[in-house]
Amino acid sequence: MSGTGSVLDSIIEGVREDLTARAIPMTELKRRLSEVDPLRGARSALLGEGLHIISEVKRASPSKGDLGSIVDPAFLASKYEEGGASIVSVLTEERRFKGSIKDFESVRRAISIPMLRKDFIVTEYQVIESRVLGADLLLLIVAGLSQSEYNDFHQMAQELGMDILVEIHDEAELERALEVKPAIIGVNSRNLKTLEVSSAAFHQLLPLIPDGIIRVAESGIAERAEVQIVEELGAHAILVGETLVRAGDPVAAISRLLGR
């Protein structure tokens, strides 16, 4: 679990308050599972030759503030798809990242590739809600969950058919992550308790992730040289938000990062 008074604690507190405000009865939420669209296969989208990119629709962050005006998140996501993104990630956390479920839904209608719901999942309700929204890939941040919560949410997401991106920041979290035999692990170079970024996390953790697990490098990647480093360390994919949001031409930015 997160340390007392950390940035992560504060974010999760806000997430719980916002959830209380928008939640519908669980019976109604579960009923909506019978109406969901087919999943698009996030894990399979990250398999195959070459490095893959998860391109993120991200309006703001706690460390950088507003990243720029995204007038039309669906249009931005369609440019990501055009540029060769394997998956599009959409922030749905409202307070610190200024995301929304509306953003996610508009992007879902605009693209055909898989989608990651990027949020702080801390309740069973959010797991089910994510499937109802059409998330193909669900983020579980080990630092924000007890071991029992992590185990339960991972199993629940699997039963609902979603793939899971398990996010870690240190070796202790990697050990916890491996308990459920995850298919995808992301190493976030940003410490969510302090918001500091260090590429040392990539060097330390990516090589420790067992073979057979898809490795994703998250945060702090802006240059082609940085992409080459994480690829050499064993990354199968990178998750990039700020660099693409701020790029005047996201299609060209994806090509530059991937060395095309």
What positions carry a catalytic annotation? 56, 58, 118, 167, 188, 218-219
Instruction: Give the closest residue to 120 by CA, choosing from 106, 130, 133.
Output: 130
Hey, what are 163's tokens? 């793939």
Ramachandran region, residue 170 (left: φ > 0; alpha: ψ -120 to 50; beta: rest): beta
Inter-residue contact 164 to 157 (CB < 8 Å): yes
Which residues, 6+ apart, have CB-to-CB distance to 47 below 8 Å? 214
Inter-residue contact 116 to 87 (CB < 8 Å): yes
Task: Return the DSSP state at 39.
Answer: P
- Give the phi and the psi of residue 52 in degrees, each rounded to 5: -105, 155
Hey, what are 212's tokens? 């057979």
98, amino acid identity:
K
Cα–Cα distances in angstroms (integers) from residue 144 to residues 58, 208, 225, in the given order = 20, 21, 31
H helices, E strands: number in the chain: 12, 10
